[in-house]
Amino acid sequence: MNPDIIKERQNATFDVEKLTYVLDGGLEKTKRRREIESMVFSDPDFEEEDPNFLSRSERYDQAVRKSAQMILKLREYGIADPEEIYCYKTCVNPDRPGPLDLHLAMFLPTLLNQATQEQMDRFFMPTWNLEIIGTYAQTEMGHGTHLRGLETTATYDPATQEFVLNSPTISSIKWWPGGLGKTSNHAIVLAQLYTQGNCHGLHAFIVPIRDMSTHVPLPGIVVGDIGPKFGFNEVDNGFLKLENVRIPRENMLMKYAKVEPDGTYVKPPSAKLTYGTMVFIRSLIVGESARALSKSCTIAIRYSSVRHQSEIRPGEPEPQILDYQTQQYKLFPLLATAYAFSFVGQYMKETYHRISGDINDGDFSELPELHALSAGLKAFTTWTTNSGIEVCRMSCGGHGYSRSSALPDIYVEFTPTCTYEGENTVMMLQTARHLVKSYRQAKAGQQLSGIVSYLNEAKQHRVQPQPVAARPTVVDINDLASLVEVYKQRAAILVELAAKSIQQEIQNRKSQEDAWNNSSIDLVRASDAHCHYVVVKLFTDKLGEIGDIAIHSVLSTLALLYALHGITTNSGDFLQAGLLNVPQVHQVSVRIKELLSQLRPNAVALVDAFDHHDKKLNSVLGRYDGNVYEHMFEWARRSPLNATEVHESFHKYLKPLRSKL
């Protein structure tokens, strides 16, 4: 164990283990998580070569091998709880997505939700036993978020009682679905349904794409891998071009909408039914943000405690780089953010489960708010995490660029969350739509409930920005409740400003739609402020649940740092709205420096509490024992370019060059 890191741990003022329980949601959960981790990490069947040393094809091969093993073991051990499966999976391919992910997370659940009993009888067991390996093919080369724009067609032919599927244009080729390129032999294809001469919009069809026995693509199917990406090397994201592919009528998923044998279309009873899954996945992504950011902070903070560099006082030994104020200012607000997002992730999971119950009972009343909240928080947390990972990486100096640090991998595996499951700007605008609607309801005298209820108070605010002096200031920058209040007021004012901007545009004879587009910068800003408020509020609320005094104290410091740091980085908003005055903003900067010093002795303990197993971090910089350099050397020597002493290019190009010059 590195002596620096031992000393860091001795300096902690709280019980790390107890904080881990808080993060996991209780002692029992921590215990079970560790059990599962040890199942995987002690299992020789899951040993792997560092993927960074492999070619793309080898990486895919290794991932298929491990995923197949995983399916076997999960059955063997009888692990069936979705959360436990998820935990197991993230250890098998440590936090890398795998080739069977869409089979498990999209194909199977869609079948369960949308198949008729007859379809279940035909498809479920083969799918469960991986004879059918499926994916979910929605996005097309030219079409993403906007579902109505999708071009793939499924035209019903009553003569043969078949659907004929086609990709009518290049832009209609299915593009991006995970596992589509090489792994799957079936796909649930989203296509515009045509029958009796009418288009009935998007519906889902089960389409066999490869021969079940030989795995060769079926006639009319052009399928393949979409090529290398920024990360996701283990996944064969694929393309699918359909050329007059015929499938039986019974392969349309018909639990809700139907096409009868004669071609008559029968409408689904409600459109809200598929809404829930989307909300669920976005809520999960909030938790993913917390995990990616906490891993990055773990690596950067542990490394900063063992790395010595430059000098603060001349003549003295090089200090730990964690002692530089600039380094603390990079990392500690991100550490606070990782904690904030962990608690927001817990909240989203709980809320989803609570509301799911209501939905199953036919009560959809809370769904719009959860939908808006999950959209905005997905965008807010992934954007923050995305840039935060890179701050962590660059805070490690040169070694942050080495794949051995794991930080490049964390970044490339995480960054797609900003785009998939709803592009972030689109997500922010969805939340804004809910906020503006709620604002108008409040203005019309309706009493709002839930998290947007603060918009009820909007009337009290003056719309126009006003000089600081006009607003009496009662904010206490050391009091979290008071800070929650300013964040709330900032959100309320920015929602109002966005709504007024739309109104102004309409007064300038713009259509509703153009007015919306011309106000979208303000709308995104309002959503961002709303989400920021929610995060500060949920972090503060969480403190109320913490009984342990030492843990309560350190978490309060983090929460305060989170809130104050958000104020300095958005100080214009708070000043413009007259919520804080100039001396207060200055005090906030001073206070932040104090908080950095206050957190310094607990920094390593705070990342230890995330309890990321060394095998899961897979980072020489972030090792628990702090023995960085010897392992970096050992890792480098195993690198494939060192397999031979002399690279063949010397004999092929460099030596012959001499005689030519």
If one asks whether residue 131 binds a copy of itself (CB under 8 A), the answer comes out as: yes
If one asks whether residue 507 binds a copy of itself (CB under 8 A), the answer comes out as: no
Cα dist from 353 to 33, 339, 377, 537, whole Å: 20, 22, 17, 20
In angstroms, what is the minimal distance from the CB of 88 to a copy of itself? 17
Distance of alpha carbon 72 from alpha carbon 82, whole angstroms: 16
Choosing from 283, 424, 618, 619, the residue that interacts with a copy of itself (CB under 8 A) is: 424
When the beta carbons of 267 and 593 are compared against a copy of itself, the nearer one is 593
Distance of alpha carbon 171 from alpha carbon 143, whole angstroms: 7
Beta bridge partners of 199: 194
When the beta carbons of 8 and 522 are compared against a copy of itself, the nearer one is 522
Candidate ranges 271-279, 359-367, 485-493, 588-596; the one touching a copy of itself (CB under 8 A): 588-596
Candidate ranges 86-94, 158-166, 189-197, 322-330; the one touching a copy of itself (CB under 8 A): 322-330
In angstroms, what is the minimal distance from the CB of 66 to a copy of itself? 9
Candidate ranges 191-199, 223-231, 336-344, 604-612; the one touching a copy of itself (CB under 8 A): 223-231
As annotated, the binding site includes 139, 178
Beta bridge partners of 194: 155, 199
Choosing from 1, 11, 35, 230, the residue that interacts with a copy of itself (CB under 8 A) is: 230
In angstroms, what is the minimal distance from the CB of 25 to a copy of itself? 32
Choosing from 30, 93, 139, 351, the residue that interacts with a copy of itself (CB under 8 A) is: 139
Determine the size of the site formed for a copy of itself (CB under 8 A). Answer: 153
When the beta carbons of 38 and 639 are compared against a copy of itself, the nearer one is 639
Choosing from 1, 6, 27, 68, the residue that interacts with a copy of itself (CB under 8 A) is: 68
| Beta carbons within 10 angstroms of residue 261's beta carbon | 10
Which residues within the stretch 327-356 sit at the binding site for a copy of itself (CB under 8 A)? 327, 329-330
In angstroms, what is the minimal distance from the CB of 530 to a copy of itself? 16
On whether the CB atoms of residues 295 and 610 are closer than 8 A, the answer is: yes
Beta bridge partners of 165: 154, 245
Cα dist from 159 to 154, 155, 208, 219, 246, whole Å: 15, 12, 21, 21, 12
| Beta carbons within 10 angstroms of residue 478's beta carbon | 11
Choosing from 42, 117, 214, 447, the residue that interacts with a copy of itself (CB under 8 A) is: 214
Choosing from 469, 474, 481, 549, the residue that interacts with a copy of itself (CB under 8 A) is: 469
Which residues within the stretch 514-553 sit at the binding site for a copy of itself (CB under 8 A)? 514, 516-522, 524
Backbone phi, psi, residue 638, to 5°? -80, -10
On whether the CB atoms of residues 172 and 137 are closer than 8 A, the answer is: no
In angstroms, what is the minimal distance from the CB of 334 to a copy of itself? 15
If one asks whether residue 463 binds a copy of itself (CB under 8 A), the answer comes out as: no
When the beta carbons of 202 and 226 are compared against a copy of itself, the nearer one is 226
Read off the amino acid at residue 60: Y
If one asks whether residue 72 binds a copy of itself (CB under 8 A), the answer comes out as: yes
Choosing from 16, 91, 92, 133, the residue that interacts with a copy of itself (CB under 8 A) is: 133
The binding track of 232-271 with respect to a copy of itself, each residue x by CB under 8 A or -, is x---x--x--------------------------------
Which residues within the stretch 302-321 sit at the binding site for a copy of itself (CB under 8 A)? 307-314, 318
Angle between helices 325-360 and 549-569 in degrees, nearest 10: 100
* 310: three-class secondary structure by DSSP: coil
When the beta carbons of 349 and 403 are compared against a copy of itself, the nearer one is 403
On whether the CB atoms of residues 404 and 635 are closer than 8 A, the answer is: yes
On whether the CB atoms of residues 320 and 412 are closer than 8 A, the answer is: no
When the beta carbons of 287 and 400 are compared against a copy of itself, the nearer one is 400
Query: Which one, of 589, 561, 577, 588, lies nearest residue 486 by Cα?
Result: 577
177: left (phi over 0), alpha (psi -120 to 50) or beta: beta
The catalytic residue among 151, 288, 369, 421 is: 421
In angstroms, what is the minimal distance from the CB of 364 to a copy of itself? 24
If one asks whether residue 585 binds a copy of itself (CB under 8 A), the answer comes out as: yes
Instruction: Mark whether 421 is an active-site residue.
Output: yes
Q: Which two tokens stand for residue 180?
A: 């589509």
Residues in Cβ contact with 129 at an 8 Å cutoff, skipping those fewer than 6 apart: none
Distance of alpha carbon 466 from alpha carbon 471, whole angstroms: 8
If one asks whether residue 589 binds a copy of itself (CB under 8 A), the answer comes out as: yes
Which residues within the stretch 141-180 sit at the binding site for a copy of itself (CB under 8 A)? 141-146, 148-149, 170-171, 173, 175-176
Cα dist from 370 to 232, 283, 406, 531, 588, whole Å: 29, 9, 34, 12, 33
The binding track of 5-44 with respect to a copy of itself, each residue x by CB under 8 A or -, is ----------------------------------------
Choosing from 568, 601, 613, 624, the residue that interacts with a copy of itself (CB under 8 A) is: 568
User: How much is the CA Rg of the chain, to the nearest whole Å?
Assistant: 27
Residues in Cβ contact with 169 at an 8 Å cutoff, skipping those fewer than 6 apart: 142, 151
* 21: three-class secondary structure by DSSP: helix
Candidate ranges 242-250, 254-262, 418-426, 545-553; the one touching a copy of itself (CB under 8 A): 418-426
If one asks whether residue 77 binds a copy of itself (CB under 8 A), the answer comes out as: no
In angstroms, what is the minimal distance from the CB of 31 to a copy of itself? 29
The binding track of 376-405 with respect to a copy of itself, each residue x by CB under 8 A or -, is ----------xx--x--xx--xx-xxxxx-
The binding track of 41-60 with respect to a copy of itself, each residue x by CB under 8 A or -, is -----------xx-xxx--x
463-471 contacts, C-beta under 8 A, 24 or more apart: 463/496, 463/497, 463/500, 465/576, 465/577, 465/578, 466/578, 467/578, 468/575, 468/578, 468/581, 468/582, 469/581, 470/578, 471/578, 471/579
When the beta carbons of 225 and 608 are compared against a copy of itself, the nearer one is 225
What's CA 448's distance to the chain center, in Å? 30
Which residues within the stretch 598-657 sit at the binding site for a copy of itself (CB under 8 A)? 629-630, 632-633, 635-642, 645-657
Choosing from 8, 151, 225, 608, the residue that interacts with a copy of itself (CB under 8 A) is: 225
**H or E, element range at 101:** helix 101-102
As annotated, the binding site for FAD includes 139, 178
On whether the CB atoms of residues 136 and 102 are closer than 8 A, the answer is: yes
When the beta carbons of 30 and 185 are compared against a copy of itself, the nearer one is 185
Catalytic residues: 421
